[in-house]
């Protein structure tokens, strides 16, 4: 079982719709969770982090965390073509600071 798993893509959504990305993790002691956006040929860019159960909103992005279910998600509201990218879920280890990444979900927003 992989440490961090993301729903397989690609995910295609029409402009203005909500894109929903899911991620599960295996380390029950993990406390810190991150979403990175990666455009093709570029490096990962941090867009959200969440440490507590519940929802965290930042502009059009909402991260949701459920530690009991070992589940974290990212919602992108009012999707724009510029949101087209690969989204990486990253989980910090319970006993260290290194990040374990999922393979990423590629999102395409259709104009």
Structure tokens at 41: 């040929």
Q: Is 11 near another protein (CB under 8 A)?
A: no
What's the closest the beta carbon of residue 35 comes to another protein, in angstroms?
11
Compute φ and ψ for 106, nearest 5 degrees. -85, 125
> Footprint of another protein on residues 56-95 (CB under 8 A)?
88, 90, 92
CB 37: neighbour CB atoms within 10 A?
Answer: 21
What's the closest the beta carbon of residue 111 comes to another protein, in angstroms?
25
- Half-sphere exposure (Cβ direction) of 93: Cα atoms closer than 13 Å: 6
Stretch that binds another protein, among 28-36, 52-60, 67-75, 77-85 (CB under 8 A): 28-36
- Half-sphere exposure (Cβ direction) of 52: Cα atoms closer than 13 Å: 4
Which residues of this chain interact with another protein, rule CB under 8 A? 4, 32, 34, 36, 42-46, 49, 51, 88, 90, 92, 96-104
């Amino acid at each position: 079982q992989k440490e961090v798993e993301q729903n397989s893509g690609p995910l295609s959504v029409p402009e203005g719709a909500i894109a929903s990305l899911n991620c599960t993790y295996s380390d029950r002691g993990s406390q810190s969770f991150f979403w990175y956006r990666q455009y093709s040929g570029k490096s990962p860019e941090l867009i959200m982090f969440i440490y507590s159960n519940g929802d965290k909103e930042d502009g059009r992005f909402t991260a949701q965390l459920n530690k009991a279910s070992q589940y974290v998600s990212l919602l992108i509201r009012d999707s724009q073509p510029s949101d087209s990218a690969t989204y990486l879920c990253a989980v910090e280890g319970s006993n260290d600071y290194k990040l374990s990444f999922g393979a990423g979900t590629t999102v395409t927003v259709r104009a």
